[in-house]
Amino acid sequence: MSLLFAAFGFGALIAPLVVVAMLEYDVPWNMYYYVPLGISILNAPLLWIIFGSYSSPKVENTQTNALKSFTLVIRNHNVVAGGILTALSMASGEIFTSWLVSFMTDIRHGNDATMRYVLSGYWVGLILGRLLLAYATSRIGPGISLTIYGTFAIGFLAILQFVDNVPANAVAASLTGFFQAPSTPMIISLSSKWVPPSLIGPAISVLTAFGLVGSALGPLCIGFVNSAGGLRYLPGITMGAITITLGVWLLAPNAPWRRRMVDPNQTLEMRPSELPSQR
């Protein structure tokens, strides 16, 4: 999961670099959309080549449909709790990345084109965090590791909030990305393990949907704050979002990492009351 989300970070890294190049060469802004169009055209045949012959594994003694799968997943308390955490985690990341360049240019008075490299630095930190912290997480355990990473991220956001220095802010932004990196893949991976194997696919879909809701609402909310002159508090607002995420992670009753995983031999024929969420 960490490798998958690291690849996502690599894709996000490209966008600020493309924008910087367009600004430097005075390319019309509408030309930018040819870049994602070209990537999508390239991606379509690759998807067919990689997944064209894929078939879902068959689960013995299982006869169900998509609606029943969704019902079983959404009634699992662990998946719902994980979905809320995923929404909070992705919202905090989207709040920060959507407005970081504006913060660096309007509040820290940095050069517009140069400050986009700060955003790229954040994505580099995120990629490295998802690659390098995966081993540490496996050794420490998800419960304590997410708390440690979140605390470090809050600390570097505090530097962004209170230290009016562009180079220091750029480094702090990269390190914020580094320590924010493991939270989303960790939450999705852990939450999806509390359902039978035949439900993992639908569970990940539900968790991702929760995350996309957070990704949409986070920047929208900070946009309203920005319109009221609150952009200078961007790092503080992100700190608050991470703090809420950690609070839910630590204080939620029957926290998932304190409980045993579902028996891998269980199938969709089990009743919702038999799922670990009801234990």
Domains (ranges, CATH) in the chain? 2-278 (1.20.1250.20)
Helix, strand or coil, per DSSP, at residue 138? helix
- pLDDT reported for residue 273: 44
Cα separation, 217 vs 267, whole angstroms? 35
The residue length of the chain stands at 279
Cα separation, 128 vs 141, whole angstroms? 19
- pLDDT reported for residue 253: 52
Note the pTM of the prediction, 2 decimals: 0.79
Cα separation, 235 vs 190, whole angstroms? 28
Cα separation, 78 vs 73, whole angstroms? 9
Which residue stretches of 52-76 are H helix? 66-74
Q: Quick check: 92 and 238 in contact, CB under 8 A?
A: yes
Task: Please give the average pLDDT of every successive group of 10 residues along the chain, which has 279 residues.
Answer: 78 80 83 88 90 70 66 85 90 89 91 85 92 87 87 96 94 95 87 81 90 88 75 91 89 54 43 41
Q: Which of 31, 4, 40, 75 is nearest to 275 (CA)?
A: 75
Angle at 149 between CA 193 and CA 278, to 5 degrees: 30
Residue with tokens 């080549």: 49
Q: Which of 192, 193, 198 is nearest to 57 (CA)?
A: 198
- pLDDT reported for residue 7: 81
74-77 own/partner pairs: CB under 8 Å, 24+ apart: 74/206, 75/272, 75/275, 75/277, 76/194, 76/195, 76/199, 76/203, 76/272, 76/275, 76/276, 76/277, 77/254, 77/277, 77/278
- pLDDT reported for residue 174: 95
Distances (CA, A) of 276 to 13, 19, 41, 74, 141: 38, 47, 43, 13, 20
Q: Quick check: 104 and 110 in contact, CB under 8 A?
A: yes
Q: Quick check: 191 and 203 in contact, CB under 8 A?
A: yes
- pLDDT reported for residue 279: 39
Query: Which structure tokens are listed for 201?
Result: 């696919």
Amino acid found at 112: D
Question: Which of the 8 DSSP states describes residue 270?
Answer: S
